[in-house]
Structure 1
């Protein structure tokens, strides 16, 4: 397929090749060859005719730009393709040419071809997800106990562990890989219904032929023609969109943590990566940028697919054609985001010291809730909350650490001092201790994710 220079910036050459004009046309010819062979096996057409048809079902034999141009006039690429296939077969065997595309219809060949190339696209996504999940899992294991600020509403909240944050990035990707496989199992099905979905021309041979064609192409046999029943197909598209949204969330967090004022993470640099044409000091998060740009485009394509579902009667007018055009961009964006984030996480720089410095710069304020909860056991929740509220204001105005102010307050009150374990109180302000609950949760999550990843890695559902 042809993409603009700006489209190509946000995707990969591999995914462009999957939906390339030649790839789609080749898949259409694979359908026609399988149809002829299946009909011959069922005794519907002579075996010699099937061989003659299959022998010229090769995309390289045809002028693909001319087919596309003719398809615009005909309203369907399948019409000139079948015409040229019939003409080519007739050059060698006029009798065989009578059996080309017999009992099928234009939507059968195009939908089945799109299923075939989509299976290849899903393999690329699955491989990319496996790679990115591996990077995140390793980082999470390495940083299970690394303290880092958790932020809510874009503000510092409490101390968590970077491993816990990574597990939160990893889990949606494992779920997406699982969900894509489940949706693909239903959606990657043969389309073969003939003119109105009844296979009436093939009579009692329709179902056996469909079974044979599906087997030859490595596809599931559909319960019935799905010419205008697009639910399973669109659900697959929605899973791709959800995946891209999850990648956008990951890229958002990465870019925020890579800001110069935060500097807890940094994408790989060097060889011109992330540079600026004007500012030599800059280290731009280009992987995050590509993933974010790709994810921003996805909702519109997903919405368009949903808008195309109201297809009229037994053949859509305009909406099926629009759906075909909206389908590839979903995969182009998803794979572009995946590739970009794989590049980033393969060489991600994690600055533990900066994470600790950012926690320390808040002078203990992120431990205020923990301290308040602890003191509530001694003086009750209302008094503890009021005490910490007043002290946090002093931290802001005086710049003194909260733990020091709290210790001074307790030591100045003999009754309170007798009820408080100052050593235990001090641990509440220790980043490593504060990150411990997150570390335990992350460890448990990663064990479950490791098990699910192993199950996914053990199977190859997109191989025909």
Structure 2
């Protein structure tokens, strides 16, 4: 659909294109006959004849899609056309097409194959985004910036601390997606009700041979209506989208001219405004936000699809299939947008410091309170600090200046703090360095965890 173009990527569109899905179904059918041939359940010549015709380009894919709604499954017209085509070349072999499997076996396993490819692409780009953030954190040490809570200036943090706040959820998702993929990406082969009764004693050998052919583990049971592993994988993609949405939102807020701390690099006219030439819009952040915005609805729909009746569901399974590829596309769309945003971001450290300084020392109010309370008591300290803050907001000077005035005119008792203590309260570089120290171990750990991921092949 038209507006899906803005939320997905060509890579995901290719993986879940009609031709790719049909080809994956054909791959399953071809592997199925090879497995049964090796198990002695059909002639090798029949398996060869069938597998040689399991090529999507030989078929009119749009006509298969058109026939699918009335058939109730894309597998039905696909198998029928395959059987008819095989019969043209080898009538004897056609009786072995799709034997001992059901439509859901073929579609589910095909979707597992497509999803495996999709997740490999996602994994590469997720590691790429994590690497960009890790490099950004490593390159910027003890850079002061405002920490903001409830959309208001709060205290001083550091740029490194901010970036690590973005990075760590993504690292955890990269690990968890692999873990859930190992569990979820399994062969589906159960026959009509899951028992493979028609195969009898050959059920396990055929399953094992098919598993080896497709490179998919055998599940301990048919999972026609056991969708828990599959949906856990989806929910982790939803969590990833949530973390990426947070990053995109922060980038958009930091790019506001009133803040102007991290700005997407204008490239190839990206972000320009037709009506207002002075504007530079955070397009990558917008695309990532738009893509991730839909993930909660997808996940909710997929969870709703778990209530499948008895041994084979009715409407829930087709609904699940429809949501699956859209979730994959949106997740990758957000990843690519954020990778673009973080490829060459304009990091304005001077503006970060200027925004801290513009608070006129109010970011040190808690440190001042913690220093004075043991010496003056809470009630007196609160009253003094609130009065000093009021003067700062009236434009009389910075909080440090107001404290010095209060010490000079006796509002603060003599000896309530030393000059060194007062300086330490408002030592912005030291506060930023402290924020860095709080993520020093995490930064090293993140690098190690990403190296481990890079060194291990995906499922």
Q: After TM superposition, is the score higher than 0.5? A: yes
Number of the residue aligned with 1:127: 124
Encode CA deviations 1:190-227: one digit per residue, 9 max, x unaligned: 00000100101111101111111111111111111111
8 Å CA contact retained: 1:191, 1:227 = yes
Number of the residue aligned with 1:19: 16
Q: 1:162 Cα shift?
A: 0.7
- Give the 3 Å change call, closer, same or farther, for CA 415–172 of structure 1 in structure 2: closer
Gaps of 5+ in 1: none
Encode CA deviations 1:57-85: one digit per residue, 9 max, x unaligned: 11111111111111122111111111111
Q: 1:39 Cα shift?
A: 0.6
Number of the residue aligned with 1:275: 272
Output aligned runs, 1:290-301, within 5 Å.
290-301=287-298
Number of the residue aligned with 2:149: 152
8 Å CA contact retained: 2:271, 2:282 = yes
Number of the residue aligned with 2:161: 164
Q: Aligned to 2:145, what secondary structure does the other structure show?
A: strand
TM-score normalized with structure 1 length: 0.97
Q: Aligned to 1:346, what secondary structure does the other structure show?
A: coil
Number of the residue aligned with 1:253: 250
Say which of 263, 267, 271 aligns to 1:266.
Answer: 263
Instruction: Give the Cα–Cα distance (whole angstroms) in 1 for the partners of residues 412 and 259 of structure 2.
Output: 42
Q: 1:354 Cα shift?
A: 0.6
Q: Aligned to 1:435, what secondary structure does the other structure show?
A: helix
Encode CA deviations 1:256-282: one digit per residue, 9 max, x unaligned: 010011101100103211000100011
Output aligned runs, 1:21-420, within 5 Å.
21-413=18-410, 416-420=413-417
Q: Aligned to 1:294, what secondary structure does the other structure show?
A: helix
Instruction: Give the Cα–Cα distance (whole angstroms) in 2 for the partners of residues 270 and 381 of structure 1.
Output: 54
- Give the 3 Å change call, closer, same or farther, for CA 387–83 of structure 1 in structure 2: same
Q: Aligned to 2:242, what secondary structure does the other structure show?
A: helix
Instruction: Give the Cα–Cα distance (whole angstroms) in 2 for the partners of residues 414 and 306 of structure 1.
Output: 63
8 Å CA contact retained: 1:373, 1:384 = no
Q: Aligned to 1:229, what secondary structure does the other structure show?
A: coil
8 Å CA contact retained: 2:148, 2:155 = yes
Q: 1:415 Cα shift?
A: 8.0
8 Å CA contact retained: 1:372, 1:385 = yes
Q: 1:414 Cα shift?
A: 9.7
8 Å CA contact retained: 2:141, 2:433 = no
Encode CA deviations 1:224-258: one digit per residue, 9 max, x unaligned: 11111111111111111111111000001110010
Instruction: Give the Cα–Cα distance (whole angstroms) in 1 for the partners of residues 21 and 243 of structure 2.
Output: 29
TM-score normalized with structure 2 length: 0.98
Instruction: Give the Cα–Cα distance (whole angstroms) in 2 for the partners of residues 410 and 216 of structure 1.
Output: 81
Number of the residue aligned with 1:434: 431
Q: Aligned to 2:211, what secondary structure does the other structure show?
A: helix
Q: 1:439 Cα shift?
A: 0.7
Instruction: Give the Cα–Cα distance (whole angstroms) in 1 for the partners of residues 156 and 301 of structure 2.
Output: 42
